[in-house]
Amino acid sequence: MPELPEVETVRRGLAPVMEGARIVQADVNRPNLRWPFPENMSRRLTGARIEQLRRRSKYILADLDTGESLLIHLGMSGRMLISGAKLGTFTHNHPAPEKHDHVVFHMDNGARITFNDPRRFGAMDLLDTSTADAHKLLSTIGPEPLGNGFNEAYLIDALQGKASPIKSALLDQRIVAGLGNIYVCETLYRARITPLRKAGQISKQRVATLVPIIRQVLSEAIDAGGSSLKDFRQADGDLGYFQHSFDVYGRESERCRTAGCGSLIKRVVQSGRSSFYCPNCQR
């Protein structure tokens, strides 16, 4: 499942070929992904110029000069493949169509962007740009963790009195946007807070430390994605997800990386998701 850094990496990869370019043709090869596509999607996109490609939580939004925005969600397995555009020093030919190429955008700059999604948990919708924030998928999402609305005072207030574990609270998209399992585990390790602790029982001082750590963890992941992205694209034009080096995530029974600790990383299941943590460092 892509989290915020992966979606941001995809957005940054797409922006140079999509922003400012016009969609000369939009192939919509099936009636639906996770949900039906919007009515007349192909017609509504054809001829539209993409003014801005932005991200809200795990959604990519392409603001069009038609007054509509195309919302894209990658789901579990969605990928955006670029071909035909100048990528670095050389140009790709367009690849042969593949089985799960569900939507294809042909841009007026020669680029082709293909949305490929074998499992079809992805989604696309068209919304009025002026009221996009009120869309049912976006209206309940909390502040962007890298934005100004997310700060120490906000998080202290949001977690006050919460009986749910801190792990679940940080995964709650109404509290903060775009955080998923991997980066919450890594954040709590760096903050030395156990994922099992009730959110409302953590001191204000410790809650405040979470804010810069969340920003740091996400920024590092975006930077890592960005640098891997370059090589990946030069190989085959594919924009995908990237392996990062994690301190706790996926490291059950391996040694804690904190100097002098020596404990083994534990895994527990909380609300159906695995939490990885060091029982010695995280209290």
Binding Zn ion (rule: CB under 5 A), the pick from 173, 209, 228, 263 is 263
> Does the active-site annotation cover 204?
no
> Does the active-site annotation cover 58?
yes
Given the residues 11, 55, 58, 190, select the one marked as catalytic. 58
Does 279 bind Zn ion (CB under 5 A)? Our answer is no
Helix ranges (DSSP H) in 74-180: 152-159, 166-171
Which is closer to Zn ion, CB of 66 or CB of 263? 263
With CA atoms as reference, report the closest residue to 120 among 178, 43, 36, 60: 36
Does 261 bind Zn ion (CB under 5 A)? Our answer is yes
> Does the active-site annotation cover 2?
yes
Q: How far is the CB of 54 from Zn ion (least distance, A)?
A: 39
Binding Zn ion (rule: CB under 5 A), the pick from 52, 77, 219, 258 is 258
Q: How far is the CB of 248 from Zn ion (least distance, A)?
A: 9
Q: List own/partner pairs for 149-154 with CB under 8 A and 24 or more apart.
A: 150/176, 150/211, 150/214, 151/211, 152/207, 152/208, 152/211
Q: How far is the CB of 204 from Zn ion (least distance, A)?
A: 24
Type of residue at 261: C
Stretch that binds Zn ion, among 131-139, 205-213, 228-236, 274-282 (CB under 5 A): 274-282
> Does the active-site annotation cover 3?
yes
Element holding 43 (H helix, E strand): helix 41-45
Which is closer to Zn ion, CB of 174 or CB of 283? 283
Binding Zn ion (rule: CB under 5 A), the pick from 256, 266, 275, 277 is 256
DSSP label at residue 95: P
Conformation bin of residue 96: beta by default, left when phi > 0, alpha when psi is -120 to 50? beta
Stretch that binds Zn ion, among 46-54, 90-98, 195-203, 255-263 (CB under 5 A): 255-263
With CA atoms as reference, report the closest residue to 193 among 202, 181, 204: 202
Q: How far is the CB of 270 from Zn ion (least distance, A)?
A: 19
What's the gap between Cα 131 and its chain centre? 22
Separation of alpha carbons 178 and 173, rounded Å: 7
Active site residues: 2-3, 58, 273
- Please report, as ranges, the residues that interact with Zn ion according to CB under 5 A: 256, 258, 261, 263, 278, 280-281
